[in-house]
Structure 1
Amino acid sequence: MDDLTWVPDACTLPTAERPFRMAEFDQLFAVHLRGADRVDAQTLDVTLTPDSREVVEDLTARETECCSFFTFTLSSNADELRLRITVPPARTDVLDGLSDRL
């Protein structure tokens, strides 16, 4: 299994379930990722295929439940889905860990 030491103690997802959640993000990125831009230390913009909306909405809703410090913002047009992920300054290490998976 992957090293998830960057996952903060503030995450309420049971430890045994964390690798499965990370696998869901990995699958999303493997199938739908078109690009990513680290805007700044606290912000990551991810561009995905437009048909990923349902998966993204479900995954980000569940992630917000266990890691409430994340802010996920979706926008789209006919050609792409944009997911902006932001974290507070104290959680940039978490965004680093997620960004490293791209």
Structure 2
Amino acid sequence: MTATDDQVWVPEACTLPTVDRPLRLAEFDDLFATAVRGQQRLSATTLRWDLDLAAEATARDLTARESSCCSFFSFVFHPADGTLRLEVEVPAAHVAVLDALAERAAVRLRP
């Protein structure tokens, strides 16, 4: 993806200033590369990431900030067998955003 392509899937409902979007995307990319241990698509509108427990504070901070500018996201954390599960849900109208996040995570997923 080019920088321009990265912005294509950002919905109009996002209130994060355009200038800050590449930085936020980089934060998600870093989380995917360093903390996500697994990804599962539960439904068209729901995605689950298994995170390293050490990344809990970072993940909670990032998702809280993301929820404040993109209120259509639902981020729910659950402890699970030595990892932290993060379920990400969006309304059907924003499935393209979830698809883009899933694709970015899959590319950066740490084995």
Unaligned runs of 5+ in 1: none
1:42 maps onto 2:45 in alignment: yes
1:82 maps onto 2:85 in alignment: yes
Residues 73 and 83, structure 1, Cα contact 8 Å, conserved in 2: yes
In proportion to residue count, which structure has more helix?
2
Q: Which has the higher contact order (CA 8 A, sep 6+)?
A: 2
Aligned counterpart for 1:68 among listed residues 67, 71, 93: 71
After superposition, the CA RMSD in angstroms is 1.1
Unaligned runs of 5+ in 2: 106-111
Residues 50 and 78, structure 1, Cα contact 8 Å, conserved in 2: no
Q: Distance in 1 between matches of 2:61 and 2:97?
A: 20
TM-score (structure 2 length as normaliser) = 0.88
Runs ≥4 residues deviating over 3 A: none
| 1:72 counterpart SS class | strand
- C-alpha change, 1:69 and 1:85, in structure 2 (3 Å) is same
